Amino acid sequence: MKKLLLILAASAATAGTAFAQTPATAPAPAQTGTSAPDQLAQRRAQYLGKELGLTADQQTRLAPILMAQRQQLQLLREQRTTGGRKQGTAQDLKASEARADEQIKTVLTPEQFTKFAQMRDQQREKIREHRANNAAAPTGQPE
């Protein structure tokens, strides 16, 4: 009888901790800060539609191009992190961007593409500044 009570108490204690460690429901991807690549590409197409004054047809044609570009970048990122492949990555990135630009040029007007390129260049400059600021700041020391 004592053994049975001891076993019941032990299983109740372990079951309680097991429930405490696992969430009742898994959070949706939007709640964790990540989205599916197709959702990201769709949001990017909508953003560009607003910023560049795209028609609905242009947005529809642009979304798959952005999706393919995002998938290509993800593939290159995975190759670099899992395979340790670093050589040639910059050339692969430039080639991927050039292919995407050629496809995007078929969708956008020349004026829209010019503004698109300017927006991309501005974003890159912000990233460079951010990286430079983070590299200049000492790590682990309060400011």
What integer pLDDT is reported at residue 19 of this predicted model? 45
Give CA–CA dist 61/110, Å, rounded: 16
What integer pLDDT is reported at residue 122 of this predicted model? 93
Give CA–CA dist 78/82, Å, rounded: 6
Concatenating the DSSP letter of every residue in 82-138 gives HH---TTHHHHHHHHHHHHHHHHHHHS-HHHHHHHHHHHHHHHHHHHHHHHHHHHSP
C-alpha angle 116-49-56 in degrees, rounded to nearest 5: 130
Alpha-carbon separation of residue 96 from 7, 9, 33, 34, 107 (angstroms) = 62, 61, 26, 23, 17
What integer pLDDT is reported at residue 42 of this predicted model? 85
What integer pLDDT is reported at residue 27 of this predicted model? 46
| pLDDT (tens place) for every residue of the chain, 143 residues total | 566 555 655 555 555 544 455 444 444 444 444 567 778 888 888 999 999 999 999 999 999 999 998 888 888 888 877 766 666 677 888 888 899 999 999 999 999 999 999 999 999 899 999 988 888 766 655 55
